């Protein structure tokens, strides 16, 4: 079983869990996508200034 650490209570929980069964912390599903959008925007921002 893959586990992940809950950032709220620091307990190892099932990586498939969207909500921590111990403290009820909700894992944001969009965090990875949001990170890539942010990287893309930074790249576009840099390109805008180069050209
Ligand atoms: Zn928790």
The structure tokens 């069964």 sit at: 21
pLDDT at 30 over 70: no
- What pLDDT score does 33 carry? 77
- What pLDDT score does 4 carry? 94
From its phi and psi, is residue 24 left (phi > 0), alpha (psi between -120 and 50) or beta? left
pLDDT at 34 over 90: no
Split at pLDDT 50, 70, 90, the class of 27 is confident
CA of 22 to the centre of ligand 1 (A): 5
- Phi, psi of 45, rounded to the nearest 5 degrees: -65, -45
Is pTM, for the whole model, over 0.75? no
User: Which tens digit of pLDDT belongs to each residue from 8-18?
Assistant: 999 999 999 99
CA of 27 to the centre of ligand 1 (A): 10
SS (H, E, C) 25-44: CECCCCHHHHHHHHHHHHHH
CA of 26 to the centre of ligand 1 (A): 9
């Amino acid at each position: 079983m893959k586990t992940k650490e809950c950032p709220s209570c620091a307990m190892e929980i099932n990586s498939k869990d969207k909500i921590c069964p111990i403290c009820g912390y909700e894992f944001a599903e969009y965090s990875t996508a949001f990170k890539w959008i942010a990287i893309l925007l930074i790249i576009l921002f840099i390109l805008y200034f180069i050209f």
